[in-house]
Structure 1
Amino acid sequence: MSEILRRQIEKITPLTDQEFEYILSHFTLKKFKKHQILIQEGDTVQNDYFVMNGLLKASYLNQEGKEHIMQFAMEDWWITDYQAYFNQTEATFTIDALESTEVLTLSLYNREKLCADMHKIEHFFRKKSNNGYIALQRRILSLLNSNAKERYEQFISQYPTLLQRLPKTLIASYLGVSRETLSRLSV
């Protein structure tokens, strides 16, 4: 099952079997049941999570109690509260399992050790971070400049498989619209 991680790394940089075994030795496999929380708002964030199978959600609860979904993560995606992870501070987000999920966890210590030991992995994480910045910028611009219908169409185009796996209430929250608005858009 760890081949999914190897394939992702090798999209950016080739690895020998020995290199991959060394990289994998820094990860820990964890399983979470549906609705189980990986990170609770206010907790110190210990790990970055690479999703082997399943589906996760990162969300923020505002002062009025409204949930704002920041990110979903399915197979072959990474997720954590990056501000809290890199600064070793309290989480702003809650991350929970929407399906039974298996992840490979990577502590900040092990990430830094891997990057110090292997230029290839430092290069991999730099490229992944750059792609993450670009995706975040696109999401912010979409929220600022696109209407609800355009955001919904972008979501369908970018994440067609998520449409089948997520309840409409979660998609609506991610898009920043009401459930009723989403129902009108998806007709």
Structure 2
Amino acid sequence: MKEQVKTYLNRYVLFSDSEIDEIYSKLSYKTVPKKDFILREGQVCKKKYFILNGLLRSFYIDSKGNEKITQFALENWWVTDMESFINQTPALSSIQALEKTEVLIIDKIDLENLYVSIPKLERLFRIITENMLIAIQRRNNVYLQMKSKDRYFDLIKQLPNFIQRVPQYMIASYLEITPEYLSELRKTS
């Protein structure tokens, strides 16, 4: 686990072994069973989660009672409800495990203290946040303007093994298409 974290962190910013040790000392490990929640809508998010192994989804319930999936999170990704985490307000979305998932958890207070003791950690999370914002912007400005068929094939191209790990109706929700249309697309691919 520690080596996985070190490799991940050093992809963006180089940390000394003692800095890695200090960061790692603030992380706690948890196994999240399939279908369990790490955050429910309405709770205040006080943690960030680093996925060691497994798969999570973020979603909200729209005014018609439908689940709207906004994000899938895979190995070596951080996940949180950013607005709730930053502002310490009730979350507008939920985060749920789609398979047994192993995560490392950092508490908001511990992260803030690490920013002071290891300033380049704040740079690391700035880079991660920028990459996340680029992905969101890409999804909103480009991805959702694509034809449904092109969104599906782009998803397969970007994350080829992902499709087998997620129920079809969830992929349809994420792509904002009907499960029936997704079924037709899968038959033609």
Please say whether Structure 1 and Structure 2 have the same fold, judged by a TM-score greater than 0.5: yes
C-alpha distance in structure 1 between counterparts of 2:38 and 2:89, whole Å: 16
C-alpha distance in structure 2 between counterparts of 1:25 and 1:37, whole Å: 24
Deviations 1:91-120 (A, max 9, x none): 111111111111111111111111121122
What is the letter of the counterpart of residue 3 of structure 2? E
Alignment of 1:67-86 (within 5 A): 67-86=67-86
What is the letter of the counterpart of residue 66 of structure 2? K
Task: State the partner residue of 1:126.
Answer: 126
SS in 1 for 2:151: helix
C-alpha distance in structure 2 between counterparts of 1:13 and 1:27, whole Å: 18
C-alpha distance in structure 2 between counterparts of 1:172 and 1:54, whole Å: 20
Structure 2 vs 1, CA of residues 115 and 32 (structure 1 numbering), >3 Å: closer, same or farther? same
Q: 1:142–1:151: 8 Å Cα contact kept in structure 2?
A: no
Q: 1:40–1:95: 8 Å Cα contact kept in structure 2?
A: yes
Residue 74 of structure 1: CA displacement?
1.2
Q: 2:144–2:151: 8 Å Cα contact kept in structure 1?
A: no
C-alpha distance in structure 2 between counterparts of 1:143 and 1:13, whole Å: 29
Task: State the partner residue of 2:22.
Answer: 22
Alignment of 1:1-187 (within 5 A): 1-187=1-187
Between stretches 141-150 and 35-44, larger displacement belongs to 141-150
Residue 25 of structure 1: CA displacement?
1.1
Residue 72 of structure 1: CA displacement?
0.7
Moved runs in structure 1, 4+ residues, more than 3 A? none
Q: Could you tell me the percent identity over the aligned residues?
A: 38
SS in 2 for 1:30: strand
SS in 1 for 2:71: strand
Deviations 1:122-170 (A, max 9, x none): 1111111111110010011135411101111111111112112111111
SS in 2 for 1:34: coil
C-alpha distance in structure 2 between counterparts of 1:88 and 1:181, whole Å: 39
C-alpha distance in structure 1 between counterparts of 2:116 and 2:153, whole Å: 42
Residue 2 of structure 1: CA displacement?
2.5
C-alpha distance in structure 1 between counterparts of 2:81 and 2:40, whole Å: 10
Q: Between Structure 1 and Structure 2, how many residues are aligned? A: 187
What is the letter of the counterpart of residue 21 of structure 2? E
CA RMSD of aligned residues (A): 1.1
Q: 1:52–1:101: 8 Å Cα contact kept in structure 2?
A: yes
Deviations 1:59-96 (A, max 9, x none): 01112111110111111011111100110010111111
